Amino acid sequence: MISIFDKKKEDLKLDFENAGIKGYRVDQLWQAIYVDLSSDFDEIKTLPSEAIDYLKSSHVVSPLQLVVKRKSKDKSTDKYLWKLHDNKLIETVLMRYDEDGHRRRRRTVCISSQVGCALDCKFCATGQQGFSRQLTVGEIVSQVIEIKKDLLIEEGRPFNNENNLNIVFMGMGEPLANYSRTIEAAKRFNDQKGLNIGARNITISTVGLVPKILDLAEENIQVNLAVSIHAPDDDTRSETVPINKTYPITELINACKKYIEITNRKVFFEYVLLQGQNDSISHADKLGRLLKPLMCHLNLIPVNPTLKSNYIRSNSEKINAFREVIDKYGIPSTIRMEKGIDINAGCGQLKSEYIEIEG
Looking at residue 340, its pLDDT comes to: 52
Q: CB under 8 Å to 217, separation ≥6 — which residues?
A: 258, 259, 262, 263
What superfamily does domain 65-358 belong to in CATH? Answer: Aldolase class I (3.20.20.70)
Q: Indicate whether 101 pLDDT > 70.
A: no
What mean pLDDT is predicted for residues 172-196? 97
One-letter amino acid at 206 equals: T
- 313 compared with 87, residue with greater pLDDT: 87
Q: How far is CA 31 from CA 37, 68, 73, 266, in A?
A: 8, 29, 36, 34
Q: Give the pLDDT band (50/70/90) at residue 336.
A: confident
Distance CA 29, CA 176 (A): 30
Closest among 38, 88, 93 to 60, alpha carbons compared: 38
Please provide the DSSP assignment of 112-178 as one string: --EEE-SS--TT-TTGGG-EEEEPPHHHHHHHHHHHHHHHHHHHSS---GGG-EEEEE-SSS-GGGG
Q: Give the pLDDT band (50/70/90) at residue 97.
A: confident
Active-site residue identified among 50, 91, 139, 324: 91
What mean pLDDT is predicted for residues 301-330? 87
Helix, coil or strand: residue 217:
helix
- Out of 40-44, 54-58, 214-218, 349-353, pick the least confident: 349-353
- 196-230 burial: b if 16+ Cβ within 10 Å, else e: ebbeebbbbbbbbbbebbeebbeeeeebbbbbbbb
Q: Indicate whether 102 pLDDT > 80.
A: no
What mean pLDDT is predicted for residues 41-50? 96
Distance CA 256, CA 233 (A): 16
Identify whether the C-beta of residue 72 lies closer than 8 Å to the C-beta of residue 352.
no
Q: Indicate whether 39 pLDDT > 60.
A: yes
CATH number of 2-60: 1.10.150.530
Q: What are phi and psi of 120, to 5 degrees?
A: 60, 40
Tens digits of per-residue pLDDT, 162-171? 457 999 999 9
Q: CB under 8 Å to 89, separation ≥6 — which residues?
A: 67, 81, 82, 83, 115, 351, 354, 355
Q: Would you call 124 a catalytic residue per the annotation?
A: no
Query: Would you list the domain boundaries of the chain?
Result: 2-60, 65-358
Q: Would you call 17 a catalytic residue per the annotation?
A: no
Q: Give the pLDDT band (50/70/90) at residue 50.
A: very high
Distance CA 92, CA 212 (A): 24
With 0-12 CB in 10 A as exposed, 13-18 as middle and 19+ as buried, what is 102? exposed
Closest among 131, 94, 95, 86 to 113, alpha carbons compared: 131
- Out of 14-28, 96-110, 241-255, pick the least confident: 96-110
Percent of the chain clearing pLDDT 90 (strictly above): 78
Looking at residue 158, its pLDDT comes to: 56
Tens digits of per-residue pLDDT, 337-358? 766 566 554 554 554 544 443 4
What 8-state DSSP symbol labels residue 31?
I
Distance CA 112, CA 114 (A): 6
Looking at residue 26, its pLDDT comes to: 98
Radius of gyration of the chain from its Cα atoms, rounded to whole angstroms: 21
Which alpha helices (DSSP H) does the chain contain, by range? 9-18, 25-30, 49-58, 137-155, 179-190, 210-217, 234-240, 249-263, 281-291, 316-328, 349-358
Active-site residue identified among 50, 270, 347, 356: 347
Looking at residue 303, its pLDDT comes to: 82
Distance CA 191, CA 187 (A): 6
- Return left, alpha or beta for 305; rule: phi > 0 is left, psi -120 to 50 is alpha, else beta: beta
What mean pLDDT is predicted for residues 113-134? 89
Looking at residue 341, its pLDDT comes to: 61
Tens digits of per-residue pLDDT, 241-275? 999 999 999 999 999 999 999 999 999 999 999 99
